[in-house]
Amino acid sequence: MLESLGWAAHTGERNGVSLLARYGFAGPPEWFQLDTSLNSNPSDTMWVVRAPVCADAACSRSVEVFSSHWYASGDTRTESFNRQAQGTVDFMDRLSSTEPRVLIGDLNVWDEGGPVCNQTPVPTAMQILRDAGNLDAWPTVHGIAEGYTAVWNRNGCGDPNGNLWKRIDQGWSKELPSPVSMVRFGMVTPGACAPSDHAGIIVEYPWPGVDAIAPTAAMTAPAEGSVLAGTTVLAASASDNAGVAKVGFTVDGAPIGEDTTEPYEIQWDTTSIANGSHVLAAWAEDSAGNRGVSPNVAVSVDNPSPMFDFSLSASPATRSVNAGAKTTYAISSTLLSGSAIPVTLSVTGVPSNTSAAFDPASITGSGSSTLRIDSAKSTPAGTYQLTITGAGGSLTRSAVVSLEVVRRR
């Protein structure tokens, strides 16, 4: 994984626990073995590793990062998890009380809901982390939204079946500003092949003393439920404690433009998107890179359907054939606008005693056909201009090629 990411360093590994750092470490790692004596298999050891992770390539500053894996089983499962939680807290609190720190790992405990798939939450273990002053990243960023990270494709678990059903991969912090974002990755459709049985997590923390307050943004035009056509104005308001640097707009999540000065607005050509329902939103960003996103605004686009149009081409421009032999031309039709309708092909200018046929005889949308020319030994020698015509609806388009028939002496 280190090689794949192209990162600088790792701590080594103990029973699946490791810490990788993009810019390396400011000091050596330290390991702490957790208490698994109550587990069904105490020799399946659990660990916490700690290392000062460099925040930039020069390692001008660093933050203490802890990585851990917890596991417990048997009748004393809850107590075993509590011991591992307390051991992790004790190890983390060897730092000075004001030292910033982050814990990230697969902790195998969760506190939302009741028993699922014959497993029960262990809220007491998570409470031990909270009582020690640590901040749980997911609810800090997302509130009560589910943040399940495990387990993919377990039959009879999750809703729908095979979906994730417990939040056991977690990020915690202490003496740091609140996280500004947390996302999951490796997300798939339940039942589809997944890169892991867990989803991964990425937590973003601001550096202490750096502005971490995101701007607020709101769409001011168009209004919710508007029916739009042609070119329309998208407008938004935005505010920030340190000033707004720019405002951007999205349609269905895709960026469509930005503005750096008030009033924040852009012109949007609605013909660039299909008719139907769409979702607009605005975001505002400050000079520190903090970004706030507006609530969505649902609109409908209803533009007149464009007129059908197409182009027609043929290649090569010239063919030479001995009388009695065969040759072919490649015919291409390209849909330029409107809805696809069949384009029927025909050809004129074919010499006598010669047959011509298209395969296929028509093209719908953008596609191709082959014009086959079968000459006879009696076909007169000469150069012929073949006009290939495509007819679709009320439109016709033509392409001209040359056919030279040669008679051997």
Q: Give bridge partners of residue 391 from the DSSP assignment.
A: 344, 396
Q: Is residue 105 part of a domain?
A: yes
Point out the least confidently predicted range of 28-32, 87-91, 128-132, 173-177. 173-177
- Residue 83, phi then psi, degrees to nearest 5: -65, -40
Q: Determine the pLDDT at residue 313.
A: 97
| Residue 48 shares a structural domain with residue 195 | yes
Kindly state whether residues 271 and 383 are assigned to the same domain: no
Q: Does 248 lie in the same domain as 191? A: no
- Residue that is last in its domain, among 245, 269, 301: 301
Residue 225: name the closest of 155, 299, 296 by CA.
299
- Strand pairing of 200-204 and 227-228? unpaired
Same domain, 393 and 247: no
User: Are 72 and 91 part of one and the same domain?
Assistant: yes
Among 43-47, 79-83, 210-214, whose mean pLDDT is lowest? 210-214
> What is the residue-wise DSSP string for 182-199?
EEEES---TTS--SSSB-
Phi-psi region of 318 (alpha: psi -120 to 50; beta: other; left: phi over 0): beta
Compute the Cα dihedral for 219, 221, 224, 229 and give only its sign: negative
Give a yes or no: residue 235 inside a domain: yes
State the pLDDT confidence band at 213, using cuts at 50, 70 and 90: confident
Q: Is 257 contained in some domain? A: yes
**Residue ending a domain, choose from 243, 270, 301:** 301
CATH of the domain at 26: 3.60.10.10
Given pLDDT bands bounded at 50, 70 and 90, which one contains residue 306?
Answer: confident
pLDDT > 80? residue 164: yes
In a domain, 74, yes or no: yes
pLDDT at 311: 97
Q: Say how many Å lie between the first and final Cα of the chain, rounded.
A: 73
Domain assignment present for 210? no
Domain boundary among 237, 267, 301: 301
The reply to whether 185 and 296 lie within a common domain is: no
* Residue 201, amino acid: I
The pLDDT assigned to 409 comes to 63
> Does one domain contain both 105 and 158?
yes
| 184, 248: one domain | no
- Do the domain assignments include residue 61? yes
The answer on 251 and 119 residing in a single domain is no
In one-letter notation, the amino acid at residue 82 is: N
pLDDT mean over 121-137 = 96
Per the structure, how many domains does the chain have? 3
| Residues 71 and 196 occupy one common structural domain | yes
- 322: closest CA among 392, 201, 407? 407
Same domain (yes/no): 273, 330: no
pLDDT band at 129 (very low <50, low <70, confident <90, very high): very high
Residue 248 structural domain: 216-301
* Residue 99: φ, ψ to 5°: -80, 125
Predicted confidence at residue 407, as pLDDT, reads 86
pLDDT for residue 305: 83
**Same domain? 187 vs 129:** yes
Which H or E element spans position 291?
strand 291-293
Is the residue at 40 inside a domain?
A: yes
pTM summary value: 0.55
Asked whether residue 209 is assigned to any structural domain, the reply reads no
Alpha-carbon distances of 121 from 6, 14, 113, rounded to whole Å: 37, 26, 7
pLDDT at 316: 97
Looking at every residue in the chain, the average pLDDT score rounds to 94
Which of 30, 3, 29, 9 has its CA nearest to residue 21?
A: 9
Q: For residues 316 and 399, is the Cβ–Cβ distance under 8 A?
A: no
| CATH number for the domain that contains residue 314 | 2.60.40.10
Instruction: Inform me whether the pLDDT recorded for 210 exceeds 80.
Output: no
- Chain center to CA of 189: 13
- Flag whether pLDDT at 211 surpasses 90: no
